[in-house]
Amino acid sequence: MATTRPYKGYEGTADMDMERQVCRGRILFIDDLVTYEAESPAALQQEFEAAVDDYIETCELVGKEAQKPLKGQFNVRITPALHRAASVRACRDGVSLNEVVGRALEAYVNPGQEVRHSHNVRVTFDESPESTRTVTTSVAVTPTWQSLGVHHAH
């Protein structure tokens, strides 16, 4: 598992090179390769910050826009069957596929959070030819039924 450090919206790695006996890292999530190294972990943070500042300054000098990592868009490759199932479920739940993916990622990056599922159930009983009754519930933890009314045919 890699250790990462934030600075000015950028993330940098912090690794040990045991062969050379140095700490090293690189700026993540940009197309350019920007690396840094130091003799101690404390110095590595300073070198990372200097590397980010240098990257931004160099981009300005050459007339290139410094990349801002992770703009909030990415492609997801999944099986067609999973794509269809997720799309159908999202449609039934009245949410976008983006929201489904966002919820899944929230659960992934925050594993201790409780995931709540709810299901709406509606049942209609034909009690007699002249009378029907409809009950509904929203099931989260404990179902609570409520009657929507009894309809009598006259």
The pLDDT value given to residue 144: 52
| Cα 45 to chain centroid, rounded | 27
C-alpha–C-alpha distance, residues 80 and 78, integer Å: 6
The pLDDT value given to residue 4: 87
Residue 126, H or E segment: strand 119-128
pLDDT digits (tens, 9 = 90+) for 58-88: 999 999 999 987 778 888 899 999 999 999 9
C-alpha–C-alpha distance, residues 13 and 3, integer Å: 6
Q: Considering only 68-77, 95-104, 133-142, which range has the smallest mean pLDDT?
A: 133-142
The residues pairing with 35 across neighbouring beta strands, listed in sequence order, are 26
Q: Give the mean pLDDT of the chain.
A: 83
Q: Is the pLDDT of residue 141 over 80?
A: no
| Cα 87 to chain centroid, rounded | 17
| Cα 59 to chain centroid, rounded | 30
The pLDDT value given to residue 71: 79
For the entire predicted model, the pTM comes to 0.57
Domain ranges of the chain: 3-61, 80-109, 119-152
| Cα 43 to chain centroid, rounded | 32
